[in-house]
């Protein structure tokens, strides 16, 4: 059985690329080893799928070559995907900092992508495992559960290692290495951070507590800072602030947090001492959650008294510590809790225009590539943009009469 393209992986990038390529006139086979299609889309955004970010730019992505995504991102923008969502009548809203979510359910995006595949006549085998990919008479031969398939091109859209319970695997990385391509170092990203259990004991009781913070790591040009919400957990820290910084944090390096970024704590505490006889913890509760204030003052006996009786030096130290809490995580919650994988197929071995590798006819798109976005819809936008660039390139190579500019929104 001969296809123009075999698409391995029916997640966001694979589904989208298959639909576009099919509508450009290519004979496409889409296959995936999981029983359900696009589970990562279904569970994203609390079940409502943060399907893109209106403000996405190449500056929101990491990788050995952070400029690699520029070409694809410029040719398929968030506005293009929004147009496709609107074309399918999917109600959506902006929640925070350009993040767009479905009003109803993430399944609306999954069904939209499946309809796009149907419109392109895409053949879909699932579940279907790939045993081997090798070069063949037409370009490639793929051994699958349903027999041997010949294809002119193979597109790998198998994602990374994050969330193994929904089928994540290292298939794409292994295949890249099989054909002599490089894979950068891999690590969990957009992931909660953990701390030494004994050292974390005073804060474990705060599990479930959330507050806005400024968080940073790194020094000088490598310094990265976010202003987002922090969430305490039994084992450490999570929430948007920590998920964002986790992509930049490295083992052994400290995090620095300002627990009251909107307040001048030095000025506030100085004023409070002159006017109030309330306990210092009660005054602090005006700027940080009371549970956190109560826990924090337990660190120093000088803070466990009325603010009017607290020495100026103790107040100054408290303000300084709250504005620059420096802590060193011991690790992360790993791939089981990570939203994405940092690293992947080395972009030095891929074309930024087409997503084709140095192995002719073998393409890589989406999370399997060493392009990792921030939290907030950026990784989905990379899936759409890389998939679209790949489909256009395939059509130009295998169906020269196609007109890619008219497809997908």
Q: What's the pLDDT tens digit per position in 268-323?
A: 999 999 999 999 999 999 999 999 999 999 999 999 999 999 999 999 999 999 99
Taking the C-alpha atoms of residue 280 and residue 285, their distance in angstroms, rounded to an integer, is: 9
pLDDT score of 405 more than 50: no
H runs (alpha helix) in 123-209? 171-178, 197-204
Q: Residue 399's pLDDT is what?
A: 77
> What's the pLDDT at 68?
98
DSSP one-letter code for 253: P
Q: Are 3 and 149 in contact (CB under 8 A)?
A: yes
pLDDT at 161: 97
**Domain ranges, ordered by start, for the chain:** 2-187+340-406, 193-332
Note the pTM of the prediction, 2 decimals: 0.94
Architecture of domain 193-332: Beta Barrel (2.40)
In the block, tokens 């004023």 appear at 271
- From residue 342, give the alpha-carbon distance in Å to each of 50, 237, 347, 375: 19, 19, 13, 12
Closest C-alpha among 273, 274, 238, 171 to residue 375? 238
322: exposed, middle or buried (Cβ count in 10 Å: 0-12, 13-18, 19+): buried
Question: 10-38, pLDDT tens digit by residue?
Answer: 999 999 999 999 999 999 999 999 998 99
Span 154-196, pLDDT tens digits:
999 999 999 999 999 999 999 999 999 999 999 999 999 999 9
Q: Which two tokens stand for residue 186?
A: 């891999």
Q: Which CATH class is domain 2-187+340-406?
A: alpha beta
């Amino acid at each position: 059985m001969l296809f123009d393209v075999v698409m391995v992986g029916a997640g966001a990038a694979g589904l989208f690329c298959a639909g576009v390529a099919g509508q450009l006139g290519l004979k496409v086979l889409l296959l995936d080893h999981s029983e359900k299609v696009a589970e990562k889309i279904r569970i994203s955004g609390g079940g409502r799928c943060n399907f893109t970010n209106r403000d996405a730019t190449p500056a929101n992505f990491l990788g050995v070559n952070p400029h690699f995504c520029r070409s694809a991102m410029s040719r398929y923008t968030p506005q293009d995907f929004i147009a496709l969502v609107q074309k399918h009548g999917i109600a959506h809203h902006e929640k925070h900092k350009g993040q767009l979510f479905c009003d109803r359910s993430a399944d609306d995006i999954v069904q939209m992508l499946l309809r796009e595949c149907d419109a392109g006549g895409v053949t879909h085998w699932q579940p279907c495992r790939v045993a081997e990919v090798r070069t063949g008479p037409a370009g490639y031969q793929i051994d699958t559960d349903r027999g041997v398939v010949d294809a002119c091109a193979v597109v790998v859209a198998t994602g990374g290692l994050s969330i193994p319970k929904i089928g994540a695997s290292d298939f794409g990385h292994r295949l890249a290495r099989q054909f002599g391509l490089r894979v950068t170092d891999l690590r969990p990203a957009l992931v909660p951070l953990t701390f030494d259990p004994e050292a974390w004991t005073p804060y474990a009781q705060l599990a479930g507590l959330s507050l806005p913070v400024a968080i940073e790591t790194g020094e000088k040009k490598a310094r990265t800072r976010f202003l987002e919400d922090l969430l305490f957990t039994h084992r450490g820290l999570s929430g948007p602030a920590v998920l964002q910084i986790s992509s930049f944090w490295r083992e052994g390096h400290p995090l620095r947090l300002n627990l009251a970024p909107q307040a001048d704590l030095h000025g506030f505490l100085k004023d409070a001492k002159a006017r109030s006889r309330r306990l210092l913890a009660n005054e602090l509760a005006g700027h940080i959650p009371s549970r956190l204030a109560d826990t924090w003052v337990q660190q120093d006996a000088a803070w466990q008294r009325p603010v009017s009786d607290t020495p100026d030096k103790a107040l100054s130290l408290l303000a300084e510590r709250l504005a620059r809490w420096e802590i060193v995580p011991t690790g992360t919650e790993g791939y089981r809790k990570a939203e994405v994988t940092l690293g992947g197929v080395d972009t030095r071995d891929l074309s930024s225009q087409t997503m084709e590798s140095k192995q002719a006819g073998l393409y890589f798109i989406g999370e399997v590539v060493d392009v990792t976005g921030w939290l907030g819809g950026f990784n989905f936008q990379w899936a759409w943009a890389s998939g679209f660039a790949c489909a256009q390139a395939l059509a130009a190579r295998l169906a020269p009469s196609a007109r890619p500019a008219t497809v997908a929104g």
